[in-house]
Structure 1
Amino acid sequence: MRGLSDLSRLHVYQKVIIVFVAMMLPVYLINLWMNMSGVSFMKKGFSDSILSNVQFYSNQLNDQFTFVRTLQLQLINDPDLLKLSFLGGQLNGFDDYQLVNRLRDRLFTVRDSSDYLANVGVYVNSFGRTISTQGGIAQLPNSEYSLISRYTEQKPPQPIYYDEGRLFFIETANNGSIVVYMELSSKNLEATVSNLVKLYHDSGALLVDGRQNSAISVMTGGPILNEMKAAIAKRGDAERSVDSYMLTANKQNYMVAQTHISALGLTLYTYMNQNEVTEPLKRFNAWFTVLSFVSLAIVIMFSYSVNLMIHKPLKKLIRAFKNLETDNLIVSLQQHGDNEFSYLYENFDRMVLKLRHSIHENYEQQIALQHSELKQLQSQINPHFLYNSFFNIYMICRSGDLDSASTLAQKLGSYYQFITRSGREEVTLDEEYRHALDYCDIQGIRFSNRIEVEAEELPELCKPLEVPRLIIQPLVENAFEHAFESGARRGNIYMKAAFTGGILSISVEDDGSTMTDESLLEMQDKLDHVSQLPEKTGLLNVCRRIQLRFGEQSGVFVSRSSLGGLKAEIRIHYEEGEQHVPDLDRR
């Protein structure tokens, strides 16, 4: 609910922009979703393509080496090989030569049947020699036999033997009396594996056995190898046809694909930097960034257009209405063109013109009525003090104190000279303050000087300020009559004035004890609603006259005094240019 309330306080153009952005947002989000979906789809396509290539080449290798293994098994059962093993050293002469040559031709045939074979050979224990396509017929010991003999030391024997960078298929028969070995072509094998990764710079491939020994590696290097070894040790040798996962090395993401080649007993691993794979996708991000900036530019241009075409004309119209609220009728809106705001401005000017005529017709009558109310309120305060003053003179004369009676009469004359001297409704604060002090002197005689009045010197800044007549004296009178009238106790009254920030403050405080908290609240409530009360005397009279002259924010305010009694304070808010010295010629 609070959010809706805050939204309702926004300007019209702000609401229009919010609605426009709200309408643009789904379009932007749809584009964002399409971009992310497209990127995800293309990434999946790349991943599937890479996995498909890995699987294709792994299947090709597996088929080729299955075929090679089949040839090896056929070779180990070759009749000539078995005959040579059976006869051994018993053969001699032409028969020996023909048998060995036929076997050697058979070895060349097997080698030429596959591009992945570099050398094919056999070892016949009874014959005491090795026969191969590379070494020919060689007596023992020789390098090929030394390599083959180390194969028998593997426990358990592996289907493929890796030694000194060379790969061999080795198979034995007749309790090791016959050994058929086939050396794989590392060059051709590397060429086949490199087809998987040759399109990317930061990529590589390797064939790894179960002991994590690398048999073949292509374009491998960098910190990714350590991460791969750790992942291989953790995941184990994959038996699935193909598998892939992501690794991070040196703040780079790599896609690793692995597949098991059962014919070799090795696992093929390939890795590729994802940034290289997804390089074409950056174009989508670039275009989406362009779209984002274009959308932002559209929102800004639309906001500026709405501000220029709607908000500024409305703001101009609202400013004119606010000037009108301050009774400033010298306001006019002129708009060139033919649009809705031209119509509004024209009719606003007509309305202001009619108001001027109406106010001009009723101004004198309104001022007369207000002046009559002011005079009525002021007339209520003049007789009030006169009755008590004459009674005081009468009582002092009867007591025989002629000096006091004379002083009182002189002060009383000066007092009434001030309030009847002219018809001016406003005087300077200096005159009003001295008049209040004259009143204090009169009351001092009346109360036999048991009431001490302390009045601060009026600041020079305050003296020329214009105030309505007879506004301070009623506050002092209230202190005398309501705080000390009922008893013979001594009392104190404190007066001061100040002018700060365009606000005049005049306070009268007493240390009387008759004002209760309930009475104080009741008095303040009356002052707050003084315009609604039928009878306005004393402080209510002063408050109403001040409000009629200076507005509702000015008036009389009561509170508990720091002396313990009542504090009555006049506050007058001056507008700029109001705090001027009155024209003395009018006196």
Structure 2
Amino acid sequence: MTEWGRWLYDKFTRHIQVRLTCYFLLSLLPLVAVSLYASVRSQDILEEQISLRTKAALDSAIGYIDQALRNVEELAELISTDPQTIAAIERAGVQPSTESLLQFAQLLKNMSGFTSVNPLLSQLSMLLSPSRTLLSTNYGGKQFGDSAAYDGVAGRIVQTGGKLSVLNVPEDAARPGGRDEWNGIFDPAYVSMVRSMDRVPQHDKPNLLIVTLRKQTLLELIRPLLPSGKARIYLYAAGGVLVTKTGGSAAIPGWDDGSRDTIVRASPETGERMLMVRSMSAETGWSVVLAQPEAELNLPAAPVRLFTYLIIAISVVLAFWISWVVYRSISSPLERLAFGMRQLRTGNLQIRLADGRQDELGYLIASFNRTVEDQRRLIQDHYEQQLLLSKTELKFLQSQINPHFLYNTLDSIYWSAKEYEAEEISEMVLNLSKFFRLSLNKGQETFTLGETVRHLHYYVRVQQIRFSEQFSVEYDISDDSRDVQLLKLLLQPLVENAILHGFAELEHEGLLRVVGRIADGMLLVAVEDNGCGIAAERLDDIRRRLDRHMRTGPSLSFTAPDAAAEGDDLFGLRNVAARMKLYYGERSTLAIESAEGIGTRVELYVPLDGCSGDSESDDSERINRADEGDASGADDAGTGERE
């Protein structure tokens, strides 16, 4: 798709007004198509009617010309077959005698009588080939002798047969406006027709009768057919020889379709389109062609065509105007409503849309304003209260876990005191003091993942001393996840379960791994071990109970709904899952994978957009100070308070 096409597509898909305009214009297409078809069809009908009328007039004219040519043909037949004329020509021989010349004078007198009674005839001539004599009613007789001019011209005009045919004018023999050596039979103002006078050829070249007609006389017969000054009439003899025409300097192009009597051609002079109508005589082969500019023919249809274009233009303007009115009355309020919804989505609860309409759109905008107001009151009156209750429950659930860890930690110190010297107990107490001091954290709820792992290591170190270094620990935390905020005390229950349940009866050295990654917009934190694992039935039971607990939702009673019926063996996992749902929402998940004899892996998925935390800027400084292993830190561990 081109850039222009992409721009149009973008405008069409993003703007209702553009689509409305396009739809209105598309609805006009049938009207435009019908109007244009009617205009074109009216022109065709007009041309057909004019062609029929013109053809009828031309048929009448060509019929009159046929009649005149038949008269001339009969006259030529009469002269050519006259016995006295034939006898006088035969007696003349090669060298006419005085008697023959007198007979030629009588022949000319007789032919002059024929020309006087027939206004179409201009001149009658005889070409006697044996004596090379030319007899003309206008100029008398003339003998060429051995003239080379005679041989060059006479050889080209010799005809055979008993029918008159148009004599082609040799260019070197014509002399416009005056007499030439051929007594004017080649004058461009005249047309000459020739026929043989010998029924049985007796010489190499026959004797010829030449009938000369004035072109102007022929033109006057067809000139009344001209409908306008720009129209042209052409008269053609048999074989397509142009006889005469009205005006112009060029003939029309060749008639390439003999089966049609009406064609449209471009004028060779002006280039404008001309409607040409032809009428051809089947008897003589002569034809008359009338050529008239199409622009003149279409003048009567011009008002109709103008009104058609005017209607189309008005319809297009109305389409744009109606689309604009519809847009202002319907689409514009919808755009304001869409703007208000976008503002509401960004949290702007002060948005109000002003509109005084009383129709359905006015009701819709008023409903939107009421919805925004209800939303604002709901957030203030209900949602804030629920948020406060959720935070209270979160803090209470978090406070429940501290005594649980304290109990197990003191139990670890007890066993270590029985089995080891006081130095180890001192180290355990030091780590324990750091753990509880950071757990308090001045009421802050989140650590970065790096700080969480550092905090977790204090607890792990206590357990390593308790279990006589029977397990080791690895931390695989990616650099991009170290600064992500994480709710505190989420990992301690998972690590505690791995140590107490996974390594309790382990015969080989245990390995505890803590993994942190970022993937697909989620923070993944996993605790895995190579302990004894969980049996398949027990694993299914744990998953089922956790799933039921999370479907019923964390309760403000701060106890799981199935705790009384099924014991409290999943207290740590339920606590972690409940705190995640309360703090991070429904997108957070807890997954457990385990295989008996291989180990267990617990994965926590929390959305990154919920990991903003509210820990203060001095958390890192406080944790760094907790890492210091100096003597004063050891003294502070005894009291559990440092700040």
C-alpha change, 1:73 and 1:123, in structure 2 (3 Å) is farther
1:30-179 aligned at under 5 Å gives the runs 30-46=31-47, 49-50=50-51, 53=54, 56-57=57-58, 59-77=60-78, 81-86=82-87, 100-110=108-118, 112=119, 114=120, 117-122=121-126, 130-139=134-143, 150-153=156-159, 159-164=165-170, 167-173=191-197, 175=199, 179=208
Aligned counterparts of 1:54 and 1:361: Cα–Cα separation in 2: 96
Q: How far apart are residue 22 of structure 1 and its match?
A: 4.8
Q: Contact (CA 8 Å) 2:263, 2:277: kept in 1 or not?
A: yes
Verify the 8 A CA contact 2:264 2:273 in the aligned structure 1: no
Bigger radius of gyration among the two:
2
Higher relative contact order (CA 8 A, sep 6+): 2
* Alpha-carbon spacing, 1:11–1:73, altered in 2? closer, same or farther (3 Å): closer
Output one character per residue of 1:19-74: Cα deviation in whole Å (capped at 9) or x when no partner. Answer: 78656534432232221231233045336535753664365235314422323313
Task: Label 1:446 to 1:148 Cα distance change in 2 as closer, same or farther (>3 A).
Answer: farther
- Is the Cα–Cα contact under 8 Å of residues 54 and 196 in structure 1 kept in the other structure? no
Q: Quote the offset at 1:175 in angstroms.
A: 1.6
Counterparts of 2:37 and 2:294, CA distance in 1: 16
Matched residues in 2 for 1:35 and 1:552: separation? Answer: 65
Q: Superposition pairs for residues 525-544 of structure 1, below 5 Å?
A: 530-532=550-552, 538=572, 541-544=575-578
Whole-Å separation in 1 of the counterparts to 2:494 and 2:442: 23
Correspondent of 1:454 among 470, 475, 496: 475
- Return the alpha-carbon distance in structure 1 between the equivalents of residues 410 and 67 of structure 2: 140
- Say if 2:157 and 2:168, in contact at 8 Å, map to a contact too: no
Q: Matched residue of 1:309: which SS?
A: helix
Alignment CA distance shift 1:402-1:581 (3 Å):
closer
| Corresponding position of 2:386 | 366
Cα separation, 2, equivalents of 1:157 and 1:478: 131
Residue pair 2:262, 2:278 contacting (<8 A) in 1 also: yes
Q: Distance in 2 between matches of 1:360 and 1:434?
A: 39
Q: Distance in 1 between matches of 2:197 and 2:389?
A: 136
Displacement of 1:568 after TM fit? 2.6
Partner SS, residue 170 of structure 1: strand
Structure 2 letter corresponding to 1:331: Q
Deviation at 1:493, TM superposition (A): 1.6
Asked whether 1:29 is paired with 2:30, we answer: yes
| Pair 1:180-2:212 in alignment | no
| Corresponding position of 2:580 | 546
What is the match of residue 7 of structure 1? none
Measured after TM superposition, the shift of residue 164 of structure 1 is 2.3
| Alignment correspondent of 1:434 | 454
SS of equivalent to 1:552: coil
Q: 1:414 aligns with which of 434, 446, 469?
A: 434
Matched letter for residue 211 of structure 2: M
Offset from partner CA, 1:320-370 (integer Å, 9 cap, x none): 4565567x5732425264544555555554555455556555456534542
Q: Does 1:508 align with 2:535?
A: no
* CA–CA separation in structure 1 for the residues paired with 2:311 and 2:535: 74
Which secondary structure does the structure 1 equivalent of 2:513 belong to?
Answer: strand
How far apart are the structure 2 equivalents of 1:284 and 1:515? 94
Q: Which runs of 5+ in 1 are unaligned?
A: 1-9
Q: Structure 1 residues 194 and 71, CA, compared in 2 at 3 Å: closer, same or farther?
A: closer
1:316 equivalenced with 2:336 (yes/no): yes
- Tell me, in whole angstroms, the C-alpha distance in 2 between the residues paired with 1:125 and 1:443: 148
Residue 32 of structure 1 contacts residue 288 of structure 1 at CA under 8 Å; is this kept in 2?
Answer: no
Quote the Cα distance in structure 2 between the aligned partners of 1:352 and 1:244.
76
CA 1:137 to 1:305, structure 2 compared with 1: closer, same or farther past 3 Å? same
What is the letter of the counterpart of residue 26 of structure 2? L
2:444–2:615 Cα contact (<8 Å) kept: no
Where 1:452 maps in the other structure, the secondary structure is: strand
Cα deviation, residue 138, structure 1? 3.8
- Distance in structure 2 (CA, Å) of the matches to 1:397 and 1:358: 57
For residues 405-456 of structure 1, the C-alpha deviation after alignment (integer angstroms, 9 at most, x for no partner) is 4323332343234435655544566653432232332344355253232254
Aligned equivalents of 1:416 and 1:442: distance in 2? 12
- For the residues of structure 2 that align with 1:262 and 1:480, how far apart are their CA atoms? 122
Equivalent residue pairs, number: 550
What is the CA RMSD across the aligned residues, in angstroms? 5.7
**Secondary structure of the residue that 1:39 maps to in structure 2?**
helix
Structure 1 equivalent of residue 183 of structure 2? none
Alpha carbons of structure 1 residues 572 and 441: separation in structure 2 relative to 1, 3 Å: farther
- Residue of structure 1 equivalent to 2:6: none
Asked if the contact 1:80/1:103 (under 8 Å) is kept, the reply is no
Amino acid at match of 1:469: K
Q: Percent identity?
A: 18
Output one character per residue of 1:363-384: Cα deviation in whole Å (capped at 9) or x when no partner. Answer: 5653454235424543554455
- Per-residue CA distance 1:496-551 (angstroms, 9 max, x = gap): 467x99x673533647485999979x969977994446568555644543343344
**2:608 maps to which residue?**
573
Go from structure 1 to structure 2 and tell me whether the alpha carbon gap of 1:75 and 1:302 turns closer, same or farther (over 3 Å shift). closer
Instruction: Give the 3 Å change call, closer, same or farther, for CA 378–120 of structure 1 in structure 2.
Output: farther
1:470 is paired with a residue whose SS is coil
Determine the C-alpha separation between the residues in 2 that align with 1:486 and 1:209: 127
The two structures have a TM-score, normalised by structure 1, of 0.69
Q: Would the alpha carbon gap of residues 302 and 516 (structure 1) be closer, same or farther in structure 2, given more than 3 Å must change?
A: farther
Work out whether residues 523 and 607 of structure 2, in 8 Å CA contact, stay in contact via their aligned partners in 1.
Answer: yes
Cα 1:438–1:312 shift into 2, 3 Å: farther
Structure 1 residue 307: Cα displacement: 3.7
Instruction: For 1:204 and 1:481, locate their aligned partners in 2 and report how far apart those are by CA, in whole Å.
Output: 121
